Amino acid sequence: MISKKIRINGKKLNKDELVLDIETTGLDFRNDKLVLLGLVKIENDSAYIFQHFAQDDSEEIKLLNIYLREIKNKKIITFNGDTFDIPFLNSRLISHKLFPVFPESSQDIYKIIKWHSKFFSYDSMKLVAIEKFIGIERNDPSRYKAISKLSEDILTRDKPYPILKHNENDLIATEALSDIENFYINKLSIDSKIGKFWICKANINKDIGNFEFESEKKLEDLFVAENNYQISIKDTTIKLNIHVLYGSFNRDINGFVTINHFDLKNESNIEVNDKLLIIREDRIYNYKNLLNLCKNIIENHY
């Protein structure tokens, strides 16, 4: 077994959190094997990568025992780990007659990013693309090694360095994105006379848009129903229902609009009648318009 410890300039984790990323011989939970266990954790107030590479199948059990030891009482942070890493590890634990583990506290960054795709358009859902999306630039040529060649290295295991480097890059990226929820809250928030609030739910059912916002502080209760909208405030939760209309903006883009009662500026590159406010363009909700609309409704009635 090859083990490495690398200090990184990670600032996002606390001592109760652990970043996890694994490399395997394939995607088959039953027949493929764990090759590399990669972790990021805090030790003596600094962030370190810990990597454990199985040089043959007989060493897989060593990696699994390290995994069991390290995840105790930790919040597990992964990128698509709820779908792959954790189920794969549980399958391998069972194959070695060990009990599977279901972390009490976990965060799958991929799920957070995917949910927010209703507000943002990404070039791709890969780690490299998401890093760039939030403003992180790391110019490391090793990140772009062909996946086919990397898969060959994993199967033969005679060239561990490329596998370790690939895993190291993914661990660094996952640690850097571990607070991405705060990034989204900042992007999806607005200041108003009642304080800061942000959008946290969005759905359209036929001709009604249902939106939910969260306030940074507890608010006085409010309920208002008008011809085109209904708003309610309870504690820190703001719920807004609006009547929406579906149609085509141009030959390529369809979407939803609502009546622009407050003469708001459309925060969009699409031109529409000033009496209409864009709510959704194809599958992307216009969060800027929604925040401005909710703010104006609240300040008009509060």
- Same-domain check for residues 177 and 235: no
- Tell me the C-alpha distance between 134 and 19, whole Å: 19
Q: What is the DSSP letter of 224?
A: E
Q: What is the pLDDT of residues 266-282, one digit of tens each?
A: 999 999 999 999 999 99
Which of 131, 150, 183 is the last residue before a domain boundary? 183
pLDDT at 69 over 70: yes
- Tell me the C-alpha distance between 81 and 20, whole Å: 8
Which of 127, 157, 183 is the last residue before a domain boundary? 183
Q: Indicate the residue type of 247.
A: G
Note the pTM of the prediction, 2 decimals.
0.88
Q: How many CB atoms lie within 10 A of CB 131?
A: 20
- Same-domain check for residues 142 and 179: yes
- Same-domain check for residues 221 and 285: yes
Tokens matching residue 68: 């069991």
30: pLDDT confidence band, cut at 50, 70 and 90?
confident
Query: Rounded mean pLDDT of the chain?
Result: 92
Instruction: Give mean pLDDT, residues 19-33.
Output: 92
Q: What is the pLDDT of residues 229-269, one digit of tens each?
A: 999 999 999 999 999 999 999 989 999 999 999 999 999 99
- Same-domain check for residues 132 and 18: yes
- Residue 26, domain CATH: 3.30.420.10
Q: What pLDDT does 141 receive?
A: 54
Provide the greatest CA pair distance for the chain: 70
- Same-domain check for residues 292 and 152: no
Q: What pLDDT does 157 receive?
A: 83
HSE, CB side, 13 Å, CA atoms: give it for residue 132.
Answer: 9
Where helices occur in the chain by DSSP H, the ranges are 60-70, 85-95, 109-115, 127-133, 147-156, 160-176, 180-187, 287-301
- Same-domain check for residues 42 and 128: yes
- Same-domain check for residues 124 and 228: no
- Same-domain check for residues 173 and 250: no
- Same-domain check for residues 144 and 17: yes
**Domain residue limits at 266:** 192-301
Q: How many structural domains is the chain composed of?
A: 2
- Same-domain check for residues 162 and 16: yes
Q: 9: which residues sit within 8 A by CB, 6+ positions away?
A: 47
Percent of the chain past pLDDT 70, that is, above it, reads: 95
3-state secondary structure of 184: helix
Which of 150, 183, 216 is the last residue before a domain boundary? 183
- Same-domain check for residues 23 and 78: yes
- Same-domain check for residues 270 and 292: yes
Least confident of 20-34, 143-157, 192-206: 143-157
Q: What is the pLDDT of residues 188-245, one digit of tens each?
A: 999 999 999 999 999 999 999 999 999 999 999 999 999 999 999 999 999 999 999 9
